[in-house]
């Protein structure tokens, strides 16, 4: 959710971020990889809504085949390091089967996370992967959200962006939300039903669907001390960014608003061990562990599950690692004990191939 900008002085930007995360932090024991793998998936949403469908086995096949093709995982065990295989995951049915194609009639729309317009290119969600796929004929649009604004304001920006696009009347939209981008997308679907009717699918990448305790603890600090920090680096918008991710607000919103039934939803969550956790996320990782030790430093897997969605899998990564190259700008704050980087491009491509296949199967 939170990163930094190359325009801040080095000492100042590190001090601000470390202050914020230390202030919300706590201390609890954390599990190791063996403890994580002994667990099972969470498929029941927190609001007693429709349970999630388990799509992990097929998503793993697609993800791992892409990884092998890019020589990132030459063996099955090599791919295992990127996606957690929990004790209840079904075995793969068609290992090394032909990859489904990305349906190029679909228009992919990416909505980034909080504060993303305050920083450089490294905080553009799936930026390099989008550029590569666009050269292969995939139509991809990144929505210029207001990173310091509420979900309601950004829902309007999504609507404005989509309203300005020249869509093929027969094409559907895949909306990919990273972090708070998911919350903005859900708000858009409810508040702009005329445009939402063109949406075929929504992929949530570690979105705080039910909010985040990090926002609960950090709201006062941000509202009181940090709002003016970004004044010269990005538009303030309505300043509702942190408040709109608080758990009471998000849970009340979900109780009061039904998501459109024609849209297919997909959830990708993340959790990891200390060697893959960025320095700036360690404190919030530990505080979230008080309610759910499976979290990525910003969102627990319980808070990230869209009711009635398809669970794609659990990435072995922290919150930043699954979508943004923030370590390119913040070597210290995003530093991790392990030098291994999560293959974000593989993950993004796997979303599009899985969803293309799934939508085609629904049409048959």
Residues 6+ positions from 277 with CB-CB distance below 8 Å:
285, 297, 318, 336
Domain residue spans of the chain = 10-26+52-363
Report the distance separating Cα 133 and Cα 140, nearest Å.
Answer: 8
Which residues are paired to 199 by β-bridges?
173
| Closest of 109, 67, 110, 126 to residue 325, by C-alpha | 126
- The pTM score is 0.91
Q: Which residues contact 191 (CB under 8 A, 6 or more apart)?
A: 152, 155, 156, 159
Q: What share of the chain is helix, strand, coil (3-state, %, to 5)?
A: 40, 10, 45
Closest listed residue to residue 297, CA positions, set 306, 288, 310, 307: 288
pLDDT truncated to tens, each residue of the chain (364 aa)? 544 333 344 334 443 444 454 445 555 567 789 889 999 999 999 888 999 999 999 999 999 999 988 877 555 557 889 999 999 999 877 666 789 999 999 999 999 998 887 778 888 999 999 999 999 999 999 999 988 899 999 999 999 999 887 766 667 899 999 999 999 999 999 999 999 999 999 999 999 999 999 999 865 555 544 555 555 566 777 888 889 999 999 999 999 999 999 999 999 999 999 999 999 899 899 989 999 999 999 999 999 999 999 999 999 999 999 999 988 877 888 899 998 899 999 999 999 999 999 999 887 6
Angle formed at CA 263 by CA 258 and CA 264, multiple of 5 degrees: 110
CATH class of 10-26+52-363: alpha beta
């Amino acid at each position: 959710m939170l990163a930094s900008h190359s325009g801040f002085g080095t000492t100042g930007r590190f001090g601000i971020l470390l202050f914020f995360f230390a202030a919300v932090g706590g201390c609890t024991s954390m599990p190791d990889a063996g403890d994580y793998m002994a667990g099972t998936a969470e498929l029941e949403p927190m609001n007693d809504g429709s349970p999630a469908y388990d799509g992990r086995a097929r998503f793993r096949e697609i993800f791992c085949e892409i990884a092998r093709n890019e020589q990132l995982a030459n063996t099955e065990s090599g791919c295992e390091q990127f996606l957690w295989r929990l004790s209840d995951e079904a075995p793969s049915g068609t290992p090394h089967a032909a990859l489904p194609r990305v349906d190029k009639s679909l228009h992919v729309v990416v909505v980034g996370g909080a504060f993303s317009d305050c920083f450089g290119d490294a905080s553009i969600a799936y930026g390099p992967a989008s550029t590569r796929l666009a050269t292969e004929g995939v139509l991809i649009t990144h929505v210029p959200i207001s990173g310091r604004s509420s979900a309601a304001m950004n829902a309007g920006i999504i609507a404005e962006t989509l309203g300005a696009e020249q869509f093929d009347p027969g094409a559907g939209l895949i909306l990919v939300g990273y972090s708070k981008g998911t919350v903005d997308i859900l708000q858009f679907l409810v508040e702009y039903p005329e445009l939402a009717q063109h949406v075929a699918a929504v992929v949530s990448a570690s979105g705080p669907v039910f909010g985040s305790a990090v926002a609960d603890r950090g709201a006062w600090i941000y509202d009181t001390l940090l709002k003016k920090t970004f004044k010269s680096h990005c538009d303030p918008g309505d300043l509702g960014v942190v408040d709109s991710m608080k758990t009471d607000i998000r849970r009340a919103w979900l109780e009061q608003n039904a998501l459109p039934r024609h849209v297919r939803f997909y959830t990708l969550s993340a959790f990891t061990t200390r060697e893959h956790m960025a320095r700036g996320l360690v404190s919030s990782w530990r505080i979230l562990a008080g309610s759910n030790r499976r979290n990525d430093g910003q969102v627990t897997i319980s808070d990230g599950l869209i009711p009635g969605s398809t669970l794609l899998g659990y990435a072995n990564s922290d919150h930043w690692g699954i979508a943004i190259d923030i370590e390119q700008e913040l070597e210290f704050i995003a530093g991790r004990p392990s030098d291994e980087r999560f293959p974000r491009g593989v993950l993004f491509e796997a979303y599009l191939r899985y969803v293309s296949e799934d939508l085609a199967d629904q049409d048959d």
